[in-house]
């Protein structure tokens, strides 16, 4: 039973740390499927986390915080869109610029406004998201096996967590069953086909990038207003890049994205759990090694185990009408 | 109602300083096939792009079915019943046929209902026009002929009454092209109007009712096809008399300079692209390799010229073997007298961002005559380039101009000048006139014959059967990686066409 409880704890924490990855990776999916590479997921998430934390701290309302997070993230997404769609600039450069702007601006503004070394004030009840207990969670908690799974693993998460997992099938449905999805996939593969079919390539791509902004906004809000209670500088800690890796790992497919993010989340949860514990045969493993493990595995997995990941064919290339 | 499906009046269009279309007038009769011919850069594609709403004309009016119409984007063109089959297919390659046909005409936000309707409509169109294609097939798995059919179906699905086809036969086998023309006839008999853009005179003569000729942005003439001739059209296109037949005497073959023995080439997917191919090329003869694109000719060329590694077999240059299966060295081959004009000049023959003079020495840049110690002797290089420019009539005659700014024909001349002026004993040429206009074709063909007459061994690969037949002294046909036959260039087109399609006993089948 002890191992089972440990497993439940690890899985629970897997879900918790996977949520921002799933949201960010889905955000990237919308953008990249439309042909706009987005290396700025990290920056958008960070800026959103700050905006959410700051707005919630000032107004005391989680919803206003979420709104502010989405607003700021969409604004940055639009900057990226303007640079890479309208101005046909380099998408990587634009994405990197957004990461740096977010990294710097959050610290400077945080210090100027709150004077807590780049943090936002601790959020109280009401200003942050609270967890949701599923019906009868307490009643069946003591049922063996199923009880802990239901009460501890499925119940007791934030609304945003359920939203993130619901977005996975929703995104699949949007991509493969709606007109928007058909055009989105087409514009990332052959914008010429979309253009000659009488659809605006520019508008399609802007819409995709806005979707990306909204999801990054939610991911950021989750970080500063649900997972923790307040913004800490650099709190995304590479999650945007891990999400990007998961997206490639998942070959740009929504359901695969979820599993890839859960895998990376699981490695992360394991590394937290294993810190300070002795492993059989090996003995105590340095904390740094465990922390590095998800990244090492990412490299290994991406380098060898997933076969060829073929990105959307028109990805990264600004659309210019032919002669 | 009007007799004319399309009338263009005084269409003008400039890109910067270049006037692509000058005061164009064009009338296309309803229910006819109307050809538009002209050399590359004559403004055909620009004109059609204006008609399809890709560009706005600077001046002039468009009348569709007698009504003045403003076509501000492709949507407006589709709404006026215009459909276009682009030269480079506008298909999403990893989509199904059905998804491609629906794209932009989905009917509602959620696809389910639209899919069923599209499926029915597709079946109806297939029956009506004999355009069979599996709606659930993935585009990239279909042969190009079928992909083109999907493009036509796409236009018909959107209710096109006027169908514009831009260079539709460039990628097709002769048999596929014939099939396409039968489809066009069928569409015509159903009352559709067809505009066919091409630079192939033979096609114009074969299928069109009327033909308009463009030259340097102007519409220079419109003729009834039955009352004109290939010679007249060629002259109208180029603006001067053109020799369509290549003038050449009989070959006087000498020693074997290039011998290929049992060559097999496997590509990165592990598929044998060239299978046990053997042949010889003698001094003073042109051996032509005919075949539909993608049957191993490119891989054969690349293996012979040291760009790609062969898996088995030998290649002898001047009696000496070259390292085909090991790490071959194209530079070494050059020094041993094998010059190569690659099939794809823009990717393999030239660096488009370089000056013309830099490209004119590419690959020979270590020749002492271009060097000044460790450095390039820029003056010598420019002087050398200027000489070649004069000799090959490369226009504009400016060795310092960026290569990308030359037309296709002139770019090809730059490559030819570079390789031919080395006076190599063996010359391997891929697609010498792909995307090159009629005037330059004549020049290039003449130069190739001159090389032969000077006693060089020439290996020529071309997907243009006419070109092979008029230049080569012997014709090898490749199909599926094998040489399936050797014929004399006088062999009928039907027989060669069948060989190219893999029918081995082509002679009987042709009869």
- Sorted by where each starts, the structural domains of chain A and their CATH numbers stand as 2-130+146-305 (1.10.3470)
Nearest to B91 among A182, A185, A193 (CB): A193
Helices (H), chain A: 2-33, 41-59, 62-81, 91-114, 146-148, 159-177, 179-189, 191-196, 201-222, 239-249, 254-274, 287-300
How far apart CA A76 and CA B451 sit, in angstroms, is 62
For chain B, say whether A285 makes contact (Cβ under 8 Å).
no
Chain centre distance of CA A149: 25
pLDDT tops 50 at residue A323:
no
For chain B, say whether A308 makes contact (Cβ under 8 Å).
no
Q: A10-24, A290-304, B150-164, B482-496: which has the minimum mean pLDDT?
A: A290-304
Q: Give me the mean pLDDT over the B284-306 stretch.
A: 90
Q: Give me the long-range contacts of B238-242 (CB less than 8 A, separation at least 24).
A: B238/B39, B238/B437, B238/B438, B238/B439, B239/B215, B240/B439, B242/B438, B242/B439, B242/B442
| A40-60 tens-digit pLDDT | 999 999 999 999 999 999 999
Q: b/e per residue, B256-292, with b = 16+ CB within 10 A?
A: ebbbbbebbbbeeeeebbbbebebbbbbbbbbbbbbb
Helices (H), B284-400: 297-304, 330-335, 356-359, 378-391
Q: Strand B82-85: give its sheet, edge to edge.
A: B82-85, B162-166, B193-198, B33-37, B210-215, B218-224
DSSP type of residue A128: B
Q: What percent of chain B has pLDDT over 70?
A: 97
Q: What's the pTM value of the predicted model, to 2 decimals? A: 0.78
How far apart CA B480 and CA B467 sit, in angstroms, is 21
| B439-462 tens-digit pLDDT | 788 889 999 999 999 999 999 999
Output the six-digit token pair for B8.
Answer: 């263009």
**Phi then psi for B501, rounded to 5 degrees?**
-90, 5
- Locus of tokens 């194209």: B330
| B360-398 tens-digit pLDDT | 999 888 889 999 988 999 999 999 999 999 999 888 888
| A154-174 tens-digit pLDDT | 888 999 999 999 999 999 999
The CA–CA distances, whole Å, from B396 to A286, B220, B402, B410 equal: 69, 24, 11, 9
Instruction: Write down the ipTM of this complex.
Output: 0.86
DSSP type of residue A233: T
Residues of chain A neighbouring B112 (CB-CB closer than 8 A): 177
Element (H, E) at B188: helix B174-189
As to burial, measured by CB atoms within 10 angstroms (0-12 exposed, 13-18 middle, 19+ buried), residue A286 is exposed
How far apart CA B52 and CA A197 sit, in angstroms, is 11
Nearest CA in chain B to A192: B90
Domains, in order of start, for chain B: 4-238 (3.40.50.300), 256-347+424-510 (3.40.50.300)
**By C-alpha distance, which of B67, B21, B66 is closest to B48?**
B21
Best residue of B98, B103, B106 to probe chain A, by most A CBs closer than 10 Å? B103
Residues of chain A neighbouring B74 (CB-CB closer than 8 A): 195-198
How far apart CA A149 and CA A171 sit, in angstroms, is 26
- Locus of tokens 């340097």: B216
Q: Give me the mean pLDDT over the B348-353 stretch.
A: 90
pLDDT tops 70 at residue A307:
no
Contact A178 B103 (CB under 8 A): no
Residues of chain A neighbouring B82 (CB-CB closer than 8 A): none
Q: Compute chain A's Rg from CA coordinates.
A: 20
């Amino acid at each position: 039973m002890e191992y089972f409880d440990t497993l439940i704890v690890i899985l629970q924490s897997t879900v918790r740390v996977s949520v921002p990855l799933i949201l960010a990776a889905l955000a990237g999916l919308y953008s990249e499927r439309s042909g706009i590479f987005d290396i700025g997921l990290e920056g958008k998430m960070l800026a959103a986390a700050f905006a959410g934390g700051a707005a919630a701290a000032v107004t005391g309302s989680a919803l206003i915080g979420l709104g502010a997070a989405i607003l700021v993230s969409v604004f940055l997404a639009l900057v990226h869109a303007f640079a890479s769609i309208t101005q046909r600039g380099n998408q990587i450069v634009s994405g990197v610029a957004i990461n740096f702007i977010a990294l710097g601006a959050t610290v400077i503004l945080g210090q100027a406004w709150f004077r807590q070394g780049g943090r936002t004030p601790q959020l109280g009840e009401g200003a942050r998201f609270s967890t949701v207990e599923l019906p009868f969670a307490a009643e069946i908690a003591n049922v063996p096996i199923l009880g802990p799974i239901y009460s501890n693993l499925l119940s007791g998460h934030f609304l945003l967590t359920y939203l993130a997992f619901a977005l996975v099938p929703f995104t699949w449905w949007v991509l493969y069953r709606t007109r928007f999805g058909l055009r989105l996939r087409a514009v990332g593969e052959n914008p010429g086909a979309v253009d000659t079919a009488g659809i605006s390539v520019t508008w399609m791509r802007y819409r995709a990038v806005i979707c990306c902004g909204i999801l990054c906004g939610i991911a950021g809000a989750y970080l500063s207003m649900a997972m923790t209670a307040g913004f800490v500088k650099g709190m995304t800690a590479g999650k945007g890049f891990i999400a990007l890796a998961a997206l490639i790992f998942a070959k740009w497919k929504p359901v695969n994205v979820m599993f890839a993010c859960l895998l990376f989340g699981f490695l992360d949860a394991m590394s937290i759990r294993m810190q300070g514990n002795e492993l059989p045969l090996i003995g105590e493993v340095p904390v740094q090694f465990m922390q590095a493990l998800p990244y090492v595995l990412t490299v290994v997995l991406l380098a060898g185990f997933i076969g060829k990941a073929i990105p959307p064919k028109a990805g990264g290339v600004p659309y210019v009408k032919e002669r | 109602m009007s007799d004319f499906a399309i009338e263009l009046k005084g269409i003008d269009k400039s890109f910067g300083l270049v006037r692509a279309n000058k005061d164009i007038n064009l009338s296309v009769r309803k229910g006819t096939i109307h050809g538009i011919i002209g050399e590359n850069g004559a403004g055909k594609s620009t004109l059609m792009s204006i008609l399809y709403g890709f560009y706005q004309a600077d001046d002039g009016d468009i009348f569709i079915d007698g009504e003045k119409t403003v076509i501000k984007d492709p949507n407006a063109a589709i709404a006026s019943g215009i459909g276009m089959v682009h030269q480079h297919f506008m298909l999403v390659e990893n989509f199904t046929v059905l998804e491609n046909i629906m794209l932009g005409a989905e009917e509602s936000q959620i696809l389910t209902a639209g899919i069923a309707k599209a499926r029915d409509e597709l079946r109806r169109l297939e029956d009506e026009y004999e355009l069979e294609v599996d709606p659930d097939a993935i585009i990239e798995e279909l042969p190009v002929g079928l992909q083109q059919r999907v493009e036509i179906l796409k236009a018909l699905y959107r209710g096109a009454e006027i169908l514009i086809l831009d260079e539709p036969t460039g990628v097709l086998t002769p048999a596929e092209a014939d099939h396409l023309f039968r489809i066009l006839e069928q569409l015509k008999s159903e009352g559709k109007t067809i505009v066919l853009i091409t630079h192939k005179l033979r096609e114009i003569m074969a299928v069109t009712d009327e033909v308009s000729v463009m030259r340097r942005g102007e519409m220079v003439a419109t003729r009834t096809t039955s009352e004109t001739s290939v010679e007249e059209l060629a002259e109208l296109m180029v603006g001067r008399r053109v020799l369509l037949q290549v003038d050449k005497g009989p070959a006087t073959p000498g020693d074997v300079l290039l011998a290929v023995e049992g060559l097999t080439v496997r590509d990165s997917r592990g598929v044998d692209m060239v299978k046990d191919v053997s042949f010889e090329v003698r001094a003073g003869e042109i051996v032509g390799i005919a075949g539909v694109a993608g049957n191993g000719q490119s891989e054969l060329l690349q293996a012979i010229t040291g760009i790609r590694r062969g898996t088995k077999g030998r290649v002898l240059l001047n009696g000496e073997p070259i390292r085909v299966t090991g790490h071959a060295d194209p530079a070494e081959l050059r020094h041993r007298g094998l010059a190569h004009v690659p099939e794809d000049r823009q990717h393999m023959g030239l660096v488009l961002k370089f000056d013309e003079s830099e490209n004119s020495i590419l690959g020979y840049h270590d020749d002492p005559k271009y060097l000044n110690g460790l450095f390039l002797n820029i003056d010598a290089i420019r002087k050398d380039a200027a000489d070649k420019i004069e000799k090959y009539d490369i226009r504009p005659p400016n060795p310092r101009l960026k290569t990308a700014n030359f037309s296709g024909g002139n770019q090809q001349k730059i490559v030819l000048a570079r390789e031919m002026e080395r006076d190599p004993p063996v010359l391997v040429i891929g697609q010498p006139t792909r995307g090159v206009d009629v005037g330059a074709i004549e020049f290039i063909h003449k130069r190739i014959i001159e090389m032969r007459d000077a006693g060089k061994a020439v290996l020529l690969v071309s997907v243009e059967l006419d070109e092979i037949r008029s230049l080569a002294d012997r014709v090898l046909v490749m199909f599926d990686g094998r040489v399936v036959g050797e014929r004399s260039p006088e062999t009928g087109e039907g027989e060669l066409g069948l060989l190219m399609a893999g029918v081995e006993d082509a002679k009987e089948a042709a009869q």
